[in-house]
Amino acid sequence: MHEASVGVTLLYIAAILIAAKLSSLVERFGQPAVLGEMLIGVVLGNLVLVGLPFFEPIKQSGVIKFLAELGVVILLFQVGLETNIRDMRKVGRSAFLVACVGVVLPMLLGAYVVGPLLLPDLSANAHLFLGATLTATSIGITARVFRDLGVLQTRAAQIVLGAAVIDDVLGLIILAVVSGIVTAGSVSGGDVLRITATALAFLVSAVVIGQVFAVQLGRLFARVSTGHGMKLTMALSICLISAYLAELVGLAQIVGAFAAGLVLEAVHFQPFENPRIVNDIHTATAQIEPQARVALDEVLDRYTERHIENLIEPISTIMAPIFFVLTGMNVSLTSLLDPQLLLTALGITVVALVSKIAAGFVAGNVNRWVVGWGMVPRGEVGLIFAATGLGLGVINQQIFSMMMVVIMLTTLLTPPILTVVVRRGGRDG
């Protein structure tokens, strides 16, 4: 990759940030900010078609790509922080059911129905990869929509979050099995077991052991310094290490970041209370009535350093839009110009939508449409499947482009439609 100078890269970041914020105009029309970010990304990324190539190098920049990944990692960490681990356990059964149906159905429909029907010239292995690509659930976009709409704490949202994590484990198994079938003609049961066990071990230890470890680490760090920044550094480091470990066992980094957020949600950062701010508040509020003091403490809790969420917020505000604008920029409008390819992609997209929406219907007593549509985006996880198929030579560049169109459509359709179904269902989803 050709890398621009530091100054030019800083300019690119500024351009993305300004574009993202200008795009928040969509909020005026009741749409979540993330839709605006992706749409302005599509516009900027395709300006080259009308002879304006300024934004082209942004797509090629390894630094911007990394910042985008870091942005979605921090977003999912934040979502994890805002998610209560007990609430997640409560929806565990529903999430598991939704995840299973949301993997089995698109796999079967993709590999054995829509694949042979719409792409009869392809091999059975290619159909397998098509099915596998359709099983992916990319939680970044849905999580952002739920946050933008303020419904992250609803039961439906919790089910989608849980199902997406389980989906990532299932996807890992499927990728191993399908790759094994393609390369060796069969797959070793031991390998699949090992991959599954590693992924599950990571998730279980992240939640169980992680809780103990975070407290211990917190005490160690508090002994070094209780000063400013320690709390934020500690929390963010745990997030980054967890994202790394997730990648190490084959899961998506965002699953690791989400798990870290879940763990730290339960950790109380008492040793890090900033003594200066506490002292200043005590001085200022010396004359407050006890009743008002309780109310004031709540306000301060929410808006000052005491809560790790408030420290992550400015970082997430800056970083997350980079991911969504860049996602939009990578949507190539030219690939939509081939009518044959577009038509096939539309057919497969319908299957992609229907199979995930159907999964929502096993979610139990919640707004099932919210759950179903929440599972629709394939995003970068689907891309990994398609890219693996391309790398193994099972699918060619044209089929890869077609899958890109399917992934793009599921990604772009979800924010506006999910907004409608959330609003129609009411906030208690």
Binders of a second copy among 178-207, rule CB under 8 A?
none
Single out the residue of 49, 117, 212, 292 in contact with a second copy (rule: CB under 8 A): 292
Query: Applying CB under 8 A, which of residues 107, 156, 164, 243 lies at the interface with a second copy?
Result: 243
Contact call for residues 43 and 107 (beta carbons, < 8 A): no
Footprint of a second copy on 47-76 (CB under 8 A): 62-63, 66, 69-70, 73
Angle between helices 308-329 and 6-22 (to 10 degrees): 100
Does 244 participate in binding a second copy (rule CB under 8 A)? yes
Nearer to a second copy, 211 or 226 (CB): 226
Q: Is 426 left (phi over 0), alpha (psi -120 to 50) or beta?
A: left
Report the residue number, 56 or 280, with the smaller CB distance to a second copy.
280
- Nearest 10 degrees: Cα torsion 70, 72, 76, 78: 70
Counting residues that bind a second copy (by CB under 8 A) gives 72
Per-residue binding letters, 384-413, with a second copy (x by CB under 8 A): ------------------------------
Residues 305-364 that bind a second copy (CB under 8 A): 305, 311-315, 317-318
Judge contact between 311 and 232, C-beta under 8 A: yes
Contact 118, 111 (CB under 8 A): no
Residue with tokens 């596998």: 132
216 counts as binding a second copy under rule CB under 8 A: no
Q: Which of 247, 343, 420, 426 binds a second copy (CB under 8 A)?
A: 247
CB of 108 to a second copy, least distance (A): 32
What's the min distance (Å) between Cβ of 102 and a second copy? 25
Q: Whole-number minimum distance, CB 136 to a second copy, in Å? A: 18
Q: Please write down the HEC assignment for all residues of 281-334.
A: HHHHCCCCCHHHHHHHHHHHHHHCCCCHHHHHHHHHHHHHHHHHHHHHHCCCHH
> Nearer to a second copy by C-beta: 66 or 424?
66
Residue 301 touching a second copy (CB under 8 A): no
> By CB under 8 A, which span of 6-14, 49-57, 95-103, 105-113 interacts with a second copy?
6-14
- Where does 82-188 have alpha helices with state H? 85-90, 92-108, 115-118, 124-135, 139-149, 155-184
Contact segment (CB under 8 A) with a second copy among 138-146, 229-237, 343-351, 385-393 equals 229-237
Q: Do 231 and 222 form a contact (C-beta atoms < 8 A)?
A: no
Q: What sign has the CA pseudo-torsion 9, 386, 80, 21?
A: positive
Q: What residues between 15 and 34 interact with a second copy by CB under 8 A?
A: 17-18, 20-22, 24-25, 27
Count CB neighbours of 93 within 10 A.
Answer: 12
Q: Which one, 13 or 97, has the nearer CB to a second copy?
A: 13
Q: Does 284 participate in binding a second copy (rule CB under 8 A)? A: yes
User: Quick check: 283 binds a second copy (CB under 8 A)?
Assistant: yes
